[in-house]
Structures are given as C-alpha cells and as structure tokens.
Structure 1
Amino acid sequence: SPTPTPAVTTNAATNVASFSATLNGSLNPRGTTTTVSFQYGLTTSYGSTTATQTKSGNTVQAVSANISGLNASTTYHFRIVAHNNGGTSFGSDRTFTTLSATGPPVVSTSAATLIASFSAALNGSLDPHGLTTIVSFQYGTTTSYGSTTSMQTQTGNTYRNVTANISGLMASATYHFRIVATNSADTRMGSDRTFTTLSTTGAPVVITNPATLIASFSATLNGLVDPHGLTTSVHFQYGTTTSYGLTTAPQSRSDSSGTTMGSDKTFTTLTATGAPVVTTSSATNVTSSSATLNGSLDPHGLTTTVSFQYGTTTSYGHTTAMQSQTGNTYRNIAANISSLTTHTTYHFRIVATNSAGTRMGSDRTFTTP
C-alpha cells in the first residue's frame, strides 16, 4: 500500500517578543520517518525556513522552533511543513505580530513548585521588553498578598523563567501569588495563582527526574525528595521492566509514616562502542586575557581525541591541544586558554573524534572583563 503522507497542524505562536518568537505545530508521521520544519516570512510566500527536524512514529507529536532576527511591530506568516516518502503536507497559514522594540514588561504567573510544609518556589515568565526591568512575586494568604520576594533585575528582549524561593510559611495553608514587573514604560502583574502547603509531617514527597550521564554500561538516576518533617530513607528501584528487581543503596535510614514512590521513567543505554558523546559546559576562571573551557565527554568505548574550538565568531579559528581519552563513562574535560583580548565575546565548543565519528558540542560564549 502507498505510504501515507504526514498529518500536520499549525498551532499558535508563543513567546512572541520584539525580535523573536516560538513557532508551534503538531505532527503525526504516520509510521514513516518524516522531516518537519516551519516556513515563515512577511507574506504567504514565506521565504525563511527553520532547521529540519526528523520524527518517527504513529502518534501526534508537538513540534516547535525558535526563530530570531525578526523586525519589531511586524506581522509574520508561518506554517508547518512535513515530508516523507508518501509526500509533503502543509499546515494552514497562521500569523503573529512582534512586540514594539521597547515597552512595558510582559509577564505570566506559572505554577508553584517544590511545595513543602513551610516553603515553596514561585515561578513565572518575563520579557523585559527592551528596558531594564525589576521583577518580584507578591504572595500571601489572600489576594491582598502582603509579602514580596526580593527584587530581581532583568534586561533584554526575550522571555525567561523567573523563580523565587519563599520560606516561613504555615503548614496546610493556601497561599495566593503573582508575578509583578516594572520598567520605565509601566508595571504589569501576572494573574493570581494559588498553592497549598503540606501538613507539618507526613509521608515523603518524591519526584523521579530524568536519568543523566547515560553511557553503555552505567547511568545516573535522579530525583527529588521532601522528607516531610520525618527522617526518611530514599533509594531508586531499577530494572528492565516495571518489576525493577534492582535497588540502589539507601541514602538515609529510619522509620517514617509511609512509603511513597515516584513515577516510572525509562532510559536506554548506549551501544557498547560508537561515536563520542559530548556536551559543552560554561567557561570558568574568565579574566581579561585568559579562561578555562569546560565540557563533558564519554569516549563511548573507543580511543577518542578531544579538544575545544574557540574564537570571536562561530568560525572559531583556534583549537586547544588534543587530549586522548578512553573508556565508557562520562568525564569532565577542561582546557586553559590565554592571550585573549579584553572586553571581547568569545565562542567555543568541545569537539571529539574516534573511529566511529566526530561529534561537536553546542556553541557557548563568554565575555572577557
């Protein structure tokens, strides 16, 4: 039977700022490997296309792409486009209008997290809208609030998450909160949201987080625990089925008022050997003329050479000395560089090569003082 064409829907743009936005859509590859991207531009002729993403499967999947370099106060058209062996499918045209170059802050109150008996984390999103902006959260047991978190200063023209940790709360109490931001153009307040603190003591509260440092024969399991006022023993169960069968060592041991299990998550180990796995990390020890470049590497079972490329553009132009690594575990890689220019932004990335291929980490930057 003929290969079915992918099913696509163009969804509303989000995070629409002065010069950037996030394009959204949904895709069902319908069982065949499918490439998907977004076309966008000032007219329905579009003219620009986001990077191609590859998807597979038989279910509807969310697809998004961040775009930048837009003009302020301008209406843009966009649509999702997907292609497989069955043909090409186009989503309907949608539009969004970028914000003015500067203006009042744009805020949204997000759900509270890490809610414990006497503390919580308040969350929101903010676009300073091109002007220096101070942002905080108001909170209290009514919509009169009465308490305010410390002011944070933000600049720029993009959306970012804002978080404030609060403590000294009452147990088993409902609190209201909202984000508030002010710049020279005006003050804006997010909608009111609520959360309810836990009882003073009780069963532990746990969250299973994604596994990290997944290698061929090892991985790191991660989670969060609130002991909920009582000495608590915590460990991970793991195995090839949801019967688990294996358990990590307890990290504390005592009686508690109950047992709580986090949700099940999965990870897949790497092949025994393969191309290196790399991540570019933040630069450290940055001075006016020198810095330390950092990254992580799993040689993936093969002798691997690793270095950093760096320079004032993403063409880089400079490379640190090669280091040789072997094994099947993640390790931190660092290289010191010197003879830099003061008040200059540098780009860098980690690069590793073995007999299975070359892999490059994402580009990161630092600026010398």
Structure 2
Amino acid sequence: MNKIIGIIIGIVVLVGIGWFVMVRDDSSDTSDVVQDNNSNTGTVQNPTQARAPIVLADQKAIPTDTTAVVTGKVTPNGAITSYWYEYGTTPDMGKMTTRHMLGSGFSAISSPAYITGLTKDTTYYFRLNAENQFGKVSNGKHSFVTSSEFTPIVGKISTAKTLPATSITRTSADLHGEVLPNQADTQYWFEYGPTVNLGNISSFSSAGKGTATLPVAASLSNLSPSTTYYFRINSQNIFGTVNGVVLNFETSGPSNTAVPTASTVSATSVTDSTANLRGIVNAKGANTNYWFEYSTDSGFKASALKTTEKAAVGSGEIDVPVSAMASPLLSKTTYYFRVVAENSLGTTRGDSMNFKSK
C-alpha cells in the first residue's frame, strides 16, 4: 500500500460556505506519464513548437456526500488539447469523466470537472489526464473521502457563445461573446490564431457567478495584415470547461505600407480668379490625405503660401488622380503649385509647376 506522505487540510470558500477538504497524495504514482513521441519536463522550452501537453501536479478535490469537484492545471503546448479525470474506489480507478476541450495555448489553464453518483463516506482515487496530437500525459494519483458533513455544491456548468468580431483593422480586432455563469464563479477567455488550431489566448477575465447572460469582449492587437484569424470563446467554472464555436475574420490589407507618392500633373480651367489643380497620389496601403499648395512665390514661402482643403484618397496601392480648385486668384499673375500627400508614415510633395491666371 502506498505510503501517505502528506495530508493537506484546507478551507475552500465556495458560494460563501466553508469546505474542509482532505486530499491524499499517493506519491508512488506521480511519475505515471505516457507520451507518444515527446518528453515532458514540466516547462515550455520552445513556445513556438507544439508538443505534448503538461499536466501539473497540483490536483485537488472538493467532495460532498455523493459528488466531488476535482481540479488541476494543464498546459496545452500549442495543440488542441482535451482533459479528463479517471476515478474510482481502488487505485486502479476504472471510471472517467467527460472529456473537456482546453484549447491550444502555451499557458497553464485550470482544468476542473464535476463527478456525481459517488457513495458517501468512501475513499476515491482520481488522476488528471490530458491529450493532444503529440501525446497523452498523466501525472499523479490522489484521493479524497466523501462525507455527508459537506454541504452540496451550488450552481452548474457555464455556457459560452462566440459572436462575430468587430472593429477589424490591419493589425487589430475586437472579439465578442456571451457567457452565462450559472451561479458558480466563472472565468472566460478567447483563443485565436491564423489556423483552426488557434494557438493564442487572450487574458483571463471574470464573468462573476450570476444567473444572467453577460456580453463579454477582448481586444486584440499586433495582428498580421491581410490574414484570416480563427477564434472562439471559452468559459470555465468548477463544473468544467465550455468552448464556443470557432468563427473567423480577416484583417484588412495591404501586407505592407509606405510613405505615399505624389506627382503634380497640371493646372486646367484657368480663369482670372480660379484654376483646377491636378495631380496623382498613391496611398501605399495607409489612409492618406492630399491637398495642393500654391503661391506667387516659387519657393513657397510661408507668408505667401495658400492651400486647398485636405481630402481623403483612401488606403489603396494604386495611382489615383486627384484635383482641387485654387481660389481666389489674382488676375494676370503667375502661380506656382504642387500636390502634397500625407499618411501615418510620412508626407510627400510633388514637383513644382506653374500657370498664369487670365
């Protein structure tokens, strides 16, 4: 019989009720690890390389007379990972909970499950397992004792719904969802990535423990332009983990941006007081404005400089003809003019040209 090396007596506060939990660590099983093709050291050595999950040895139980909440943590390590618990009245266990999908990030994530149909005043053994395409991992075997001294647990598993993304730009987007806590403290987070395997996670946030469905959101930044991203919401309370459906959005382009180009073309429809100034602007992928400068001074000195109103030319990557009316002008006067284009990366002025008013 395995030697008992530790007894942890803790007070777990759940829904305002004190829970006294005794968990036994049967340490001879802590090295019970099975993997297909990767070693597991318990740390993420290369966050860019997917591998078998990590099951952390911090598993706990919150029993009542006929139920128990079992908890642990799993690091998916870059591949979509499921987790489940084995349990039973002997060290061989023999039963298992429903599998829960945990996602594919590189952070350790809480992995709870709710076991029902237990016999009171009975010792149960349990173990957390996790599996992805790179292998299956089990770590440690623990035990708890059911007792009628414990008050039944309040609440049930949460629900989560993924909603469409909004405010999509070249490098950012807002993700949305809905979460129903169902009377148990619930947290939520979003997974996202450029493939259906996702791979990245937002920060974890609390949805409380109410009985109403809550709108939730997360803002993403540092995305790649012209890229399709897949995402979903996840919610979790002590009863388990729930995954929303996977949706997708595409960031706007182009892939690269630059300072705009600007070419002065001509002045047309010249009268004694007006002229139509023409040019060509290429926004080079960033939102760009243009205007014309004109002056009786060939050096465009500030004291004599006039400008047309700024106008938007968009954020494309093609040459766009632009124009603006210069008014009022002095009659029979030589004017110098040039087109100006500006975006977030810089300002460009076209070559100077001239015309003479009527």
> Which category describes the TM-score, using the shorter chain as reference length?
0.3 to 0.5
TM-score by length of 2: 0.32
What is the TM-score of this pair, normalised by structure 1? 0.31
Larger radius of gyration: 2
Structure richer in strand, relative to its length: 2
Structure showing greater relative contact order (alpha-carbon pairs closer than 8 Å, 6 or more residues apart): 2
